[in-house]
Amino acid sequence: MDLPATLLDGVLLGGLYALFAAGLSLIFGVMRLVNIAHGDLILLSAFLALTVTTHFPIHPLLSLLLVVPLMAVLGYGLQRAVFNRTLGNDILPPLLVSFGLSVFLQNALLQIFRADSQRLHAGPLETWHIDLPFGMTMGALPCLMFIVAVLVIGGLQLLLFRTALGRALRAVSDDGQIAQLMGINNAHLYGVAMAISLAVVSVAGVFLGIRANFDPSIGPTRLIFAFEAIIIGGLGDLWGTLAGGVILGVAQTLGARINPGYQILAGHLVFLAILTVRPQGFFPRSR
């Protein structure tokens, strides 16, 4: 494989990592909740899509019409029933509860779906590709993933900075107590934020399932990728998160080019290097 082709693959892979990270970043921004179960929720949505596509003969991307609203409702309920009870001045209780949720989800998925590798079959989309100069090819699927990532992040950005809901979310993020004085019901707004987060998660989950094999145990690694993309990009900036995802994706594909066994390691090494040199990330939100 040529170097330009490797770089292109990495960039496009970064789109998927940005999708992993966007929902996590939103939740941390709005309520300082570090959702350890985020990776397992990605897997949950992949398995939901699997269930839908085995019962109805539809394309996995179409299953999103069902999976996205389901996950959003689940997110709202989860926030109101569980996470809202843990929020306070201390960030530890919500962290621990989400850790518990992670363990629960992994085992529940294992119980229901077994440890077998699964895959969402997307038909010709998996193999379609465009020939580019210099012997490069661009797969339709990675390309689509990247475009969707850009659209999702652009959409979130519009939501946060151009709508009344986004204004309220930023206000609650700034000062939860004063936000109540504006007539904002924080508990409801946190629920809405989690619903949006899990809607994004379901898009990420379905792409994950189309792109590669998955089983109930791989959630925590997706969480790590999401964290790394966020930290590299700089906390609080969604476009930064996309850049972080791209850097991570390129590092991984370059590592894999040297030796297939180095893929994950190369990503972590680049992350650690950036954390050492520029711990605030490349695009930290200035306050």
Query: Where on the chain is the footprint of other proteins (CB under 8 A)?
Result: 164, 167-168, 170-171, 173-175, 177-186, 285, 287
Q: How far is the CB of 189 from other proteins (least distance, A)?
A: 10
- Rank residues 64 and 179 by Cβ distance to other proteins and give the closer one: 179
β pairing state of 137-139 and 129-131? antiparallel
- Rank residues 137 and 163 by Cβ distance to other proteins and give the closer one: 163
Q: How far is the CB of 175 from other proteins (least distance, A)?
A: 6
User: If we measure between CA atoms, which residue out of 38, 23, 42 comes closest to residue 212?
Assistant: 42
Residue given tokens 């926030």 in the structure block = 79
Q: What is the dihedral of CA 119, 122, 128, 134, to 10 degrees?
A: -40
- What is the C-alpha to C-alpha distance for residues 66 and 10, in angstroms, rounded to an integer? 30
- Rank residues 2 and 174 by Cβ distance to other proteins and give the closer one: 174
Q: How far is the CB of 161 from other proteins (least distance, A)?
A: 9
Q: Given its phi and psi angles, is residue 220 left (phi above 0), alpha (psi -120 to 50 degrees) or beta?
A: alpha
User: If we measure between CA atoms, which residue out of 176, 177, 183, 281 comes closest to residue 228?
Assistant: 281
**Residue 261 CB neighbour total at 10 angstroms:** 10
Token duo for residue 180: 């109540």
Q: How far is the CB of 29 from other proteins (least distance, A)?
A: 10
- Rank residues 56 and 161 by Cβ distance to other proteins and give the closer one: 161
Token duo for residue 175: 């000062």
- Rank residues 155 and 166 by Cβ distance to other proteins and give the closer one: 166
Residue given tokens 């993933």 in the structure block = 145
Q: How far is the CB of 176 from other proteins (least distance, A)?
A: 11
- What is the C-alpha to C-alpha distance for residues 27 and 33, in angstroms, rounded to an integer? 6
Q: How far is the CB of 23 from other proteins (least distance, A)?
A: 20
Question: Facing residues of 130 across strands?
Answer: 138
- Rank residues 50 and 160 by Cβ distance to other proteins and give the closer one: 160
Q: How far is the CB of 183 from other proteins (least distance, A)?
A: 3
- Rank residues 168 and 230 by Cβ distance to other proteins and give the closer one: 168
- What is the C-alpha to C-alpha distance for residues 27 and 196, in angstroms, rounded to an integer? 9
**Residue 280 CB neighbour total at 10 angstroms:** 11
